[in-house]
Structure 1
Amino acid sequence: MLSDHRVLVTGGAGFIGAHLCKRLLERGDEVLCVDNFYTGTRRNVQHLLDNRLFELMRHDICFSLYVEVQEIFNLACPASPIHYQFDPVQTTKVSVHGAINMLGLAKRVKAKILQASTSEVYGDPSVHPQQESYWGNVNPIGPRSCYDEGKRCAETLFFDYHRQHGLPVKVARIFNTYGPGMHPHDGRVVSNFIVQALSNQDITIYGEGNQTRSFCYVDDLVEGLIRLMDTSPDVTGPVNLGNPAEFTIRELAELVINLTGSSSRMIFRPLPQDDPRQRCPDISKARELLDWKPTIALREGLVKTINYFDQLLTSDKTGASPAILRSVRAEGKALSGQ
């Protein structure tokens, strides 16, 4: 007997989406996972395919979708710089057209809908830590603006649908998230450092490494998304979801080298345009409204993530064939221009 509660997860075969699908299935929901596999992979949800409550559909949300669901988690969008800058026009389209299509679906079927927004809406912030009331400092014409402004526009659409149509919406602003299932060559700092350290390659740091980030383990993040969706309809957000423990990029590199026992050296490259100097969430709202805070410390989360990458890059334990691993590495080199 199928569940009477059906949940749509767009971008469900991506890093965070796959973890979210797993959690929803564990609590007994019927899950429709939709992904166009631009950055998500079937491999991420392979272990869920035998679950009778799980359905996988290949679909691009830039086009309309006609399904019956009670809730929608809209996670579809490339989220790492090398992926969203590879096709910036399409990145903006999936953020804006995709949001319009998913909001239209939610309106038709009277579903609650959650938007996975991002800390990138704050740009290079002049306020620290970042509160939801801060409007941000974003370059509207820079190389990152396809993602930053696309997500800002999506938030606008969500709140306009809420005000104009009474649609029950939720907006989560997700800060740096890491954990097993990350793409090994997505250009994000945690995956970059771990892959380089496990291969005893030089660890590439941009700038002096003094810029700060706050790293939230994926299980904590997924718990926050579910709590936000399940809370009162009056709680629309936006709500910051992230770990307020702040580390410099250099500190992260040193910790990864230590945990992997790597012989890697740190090398320094020019800082990319519009790279934020500080990024740290104020999670007072999440604590108060969701009774949520991260529980997994960076060292503990890194150990789990390092073990995942070690298996992915050196064995077939994750189900990835040598051909797939070669393809993943080649894709990473192509996208990063190496």
Structure 2
Amino acid sequence: MSAAAEPTPTRGPARPPALLGLPLGVGFLMPALVMVALFLLVPFAWIVAVSFTNQSLLGGQAQFVGFANYARMFDAASWLPGGMGYSLIVTGVFVLGSLAGQVGLGLLLALLFFRRRGPWREVVFTLVTLCWILPDVPIAFGWLSFLDRDFGLLNGILSALHLGRPDWTLDHPLTAIILFNIWRGTAFSMLLFSAALEGIPPSYLEVASVSGARFTQQLRDIILPSIQAQVLSALVLITIWTFNTFGPFLITGGGPLNKTDIVAIHTYRVAFKFGDWGLGTSIAMVVMLLNLLLTAAYLLASRRGARDARA
């Protein structure tokens, strides 16, 4: 008589590995925390402190002046003529022009190559991405040559079309830096929208095509609603980046006659050209608060969009 087979013991659920102790975890995080403190928190605290003093680039003993720098910044007598108010107006035009160009051109390129493969797509995407990742200095020198009045390629094309030879950096400096920034930053929105378009189910567009919907109707009723979150991200992020960019300084230096004195250049000019660190850091604080407001608006809109999508 054979012995009864013993039941095979079943294994219980695998135990999770023991968690690292708190001191060891803090030890692993410490290098990152030190770097954040040195390069983010300490400079931020220094800017806050200096904005309440009359610190000068020339040195000397700084004195606490309270909110005097902020009062000088918002002084009605100097608010518009070359002051912070004029700089905000120039920055607003610069941001709106760059935003419309980058988002519009990025969406156009993404739609042109939507679900298309081949060498032309790779060439265009590579060239546009190179415009985004190449260093500022050689790009700026290239654009100065491109915009040259007598020998620039842009004026050569315009002259061939009998449209004249304008001096872009002298007569149209704000338009010149807007064109530069659109050319420089279109890659981000193009890549973002291309990835978003790939996520649209093909059946949506196929059904619309069979139903006789024109492309404009598909764009309005299917494509744009499907990439709404990405459009919002592009609008807010490009606004923040453009608001803080310093690249146009390499082309115009903020001139002529402060016509391209965007906020980043204005802050640099006050702090380092005029040597007024107190006023310069107070401007930087206001700019930082504006960036925080834009970021908060972006986060609220993103959460509301996610909530609506779940509903």
Length-normalised TM-score, structure 1: 0.22
When you count helix as a share of all residues, which structure comes out higher? 2
* Structure (1 or 2) with the greater strand fraction: 1
Which structure has more relative contact order (CA 8 Å, sep 6+)? It is: 2
